[in-house]
Amino acid sequence: MKRPLLIFLYLLLFSTPAQAFDIGGFGIGGSGILGERLEQAGQALSLASALIPISDEEEIILGKRVAARVITRYGVEDNAATTYYLNLMATAIAQRSDRPDIPYHVAILATDDVNAYACPGGYIFLTRGVLDMVRDEAELAAVLAHEISHVTERHIVTALRNSKLMQVGTDGAAAAFRTPGPLLDQMTSFATDALFEGLNKSDEYDSDQKAVEYLDRLGYDYPAMFDVLELLESRRKQGATKVLSKTHPSPKTRIKKLKIATRKLSLEEPTGIRMPNRFAQHISSPEKDTS
Amino acid sequence: MRLIIITALMLGLSGTALADDASYYIGARSGADVFASPNKRTEITAHLPRKSSITILEKRRGWWKIETTDTADRVSGWVFEGAVRKQYQTTRSKKKSSFFSGFASLFRSPEPPRKTAVLGVRGLEDNGVASAERAATEQANKIVKWMDTLDVPDDAVASFIDEGDLNP
């Protein structure tokens, strides 16, 4: 490579405003609600803050606090049998994910709204509404795999790392996790807002694609991911996905993007493994649960 | 610079001998043909069914030299990279789950609620609101702690995968 070209590339790289580094999709140009909020608030990203690490342990500390806020908002369903089934499936998926070394735990939120949440550190919530919507185990696995991938791809953590909150520097951030105080409260609020107000659209597309990959690795029929999106579209028309529709791109667009993305993946032939019977055996509503 | 690129290319294209402790298996639904050398036009020496456990001996441009580990008649040769899957193993604690015991105690109350920790603070005085919020947060924290106990044992996950005919 010629030296002038190298110099030109160097200048190009380092003269670009920091905001243009859309790490995790939360930079300027991010189309998600949180991305817009960051932009409005002038919380410009900086390359320096992007370097501040958040360890798995710190992420789990944050995740516990965010999970508590999710539980406070919706309540958790007392349904041990179904919860156990969900945790079995989540563990199986997570073991084949790109981040198998942290624990993943799932609980059911007591709301009929169709939605799911992935808190940092592996705390996953599916609503009763989404459990009642899916028709077989592969579709349920698709929902879980999508949520797990938000954790494996560290979407919320990346947004946090690039936020103004991390301008305290590495030591400041580490201290905040060691000794809970106002900064950790702010981080928790930031992460909770990201969860409730929506991630960047690109993160959702990314998680759809990862979900297909995880389903394929485990051997579930990965077209189930498309079927879930079709279901979401039909529920959206019925008005059953009001919260989800505010925080996610439209299912139609997600299907379109996912079709393009999956063409680039080297996937096995779909296995056809759907398991509607095992699903029916384990998914019970709280009224039917005898535990 | 050109020399560096050529060297890098040569390193990338040449075969890689492996000292990999991870375990692998044939993941393709139809199994995998084993070839005498890393070339589709060479002789097919064996066919391995799906889920055959294998050891990777060498990797070369989309071909993996393998040796079976789970058959009496040991097979070795070259298979397409795409037919091979890594056997994922959790590094997490293998402690037995306290799943059901923890759950029951969490929700125990004189009138066991089916739904818990839902805030119901409307109409309360200010200090009543604060105390209700505190109680809800406390209950939510307890539920998070309970979630931490939801580890499922490895053998249960293995059975779950096996019964579903999923990839081990």
Q: Which of A260, A259, A237 is nearest to A250 (CA)?
A: A237
pLDDT > 60? residue B17:
no
Contact present, A86 and B156 (Cβ < 8 Å) = no
CB contact under 8 A, B165 and A219: yes
Are B27 and B75 part of one and the same domain?
Answer: yes
Looking at the structure, do residues B75 and B103 belong to the same domain, yes or no?
A: no
The verdict on B81 and B116 lying in the same domain is no
**Would you call B4 an interface residue with chain A, using a CB distance cutoff of 8 Å?**
no
Assigned domain for B8 exists: no
Which among A76, A95, A278 is the nearest to B117, CB-wise?
A76
Whether residue A173 is predicted with pLDDT greater than 50 in this model: the reply is yes
Domain containing B26 equals 15-86
Total domain count for chain B?
A: 2
Select from A68, A78, A110 the Cβ nearest to the Cβ of B141: A68
Residue B57 in any domain: the answer is yes
Q: Which two tokens stand for residue A234?
A: 């039909």
Specify if B157 maps to a domain: no
Over the stretch B39-60, which tens digit does the pLDDT of each residue have? Answer: 888 888 999 887 788 888 888 7
pLDDT at B27: 73
User: In the structure encoding, which two tokens stand for residue A179, read together?
Assistant: 């000794």
Q: A103-158, pLDDT tens digit by residue?
A: 999 999 999 999 999 999 999 999 999 999 999 999 999 999 999 999 999 999 99
A41 CB within 8 Å of a chain B CB:
no
pLDDT per residue as tens digits for the range B64-87 = 899 888 767 788 999 887 777 766
The answer to whether the Cβ–Cβ distance between A80 and B100 falls below 8 Å is: yes
Residues B28 and B73 in one domain: yes
CA-closest candidate to residue B144, choices A67, A61, A77, A148:
A67
**Could you state, in order of their start, the residue ranges of all structural domains in chain A?**
51-282
Q: A258 near A209, Cβ under 8 Å?
A: yes
- The last residue of one of the domains, among B63, B86, B109, is B86
Question: Touching check for B112 and chain A: CB below 8 Å?
Answer: yes
* Residue B71 in domain: yes
Residue B29 included in any domain? yes
Identify from B147, B155, B157, B159 which residue to disrupt to test chain A contact, counting A C-beta atoms within 10 A and taking the largest count.
Answer: B147
Indicate the residue among B40, B64, B86 that finishes a domain.
B86
Contact A220 B157 (CB under 8 A): no
Q: Do B165 and A68 touch (CB under 8 A)?
A: no
> Per DSSP, what are the bridge partners of residue A291?
none
Position B7 confidence tier, pLDDT thresholds 50, 70, 90: very low
Q: What is the DSSP letter of A268?
A: P
Three-state SS at B146: helix
Please report the pLDDT score of residue A106 as a whole number.
Answer: 97
Is this complex scored with an ipTM above 0.90? no
Whether B103 and B48 share a structural domain? no
Question: Does the pLDDT at position A239 exceed 60?
Answer: yes
Q: What CATH code is carried by the domain that includes residue B53?
A: 2.30.30.40
pLDDT score for B41: 81
**Same-domain status, B27 and B76:** yes
CA dihedral B48, B51, B54, B60 (to 10 degrees): 70
Is residue B156 a part of any domain in this protein? no
Same-domain status, B70 and B46: yes
Residues 6 or more apart from B164 whose CB is under 8 A from it? Answer: A137, A219, A273, A275, A278
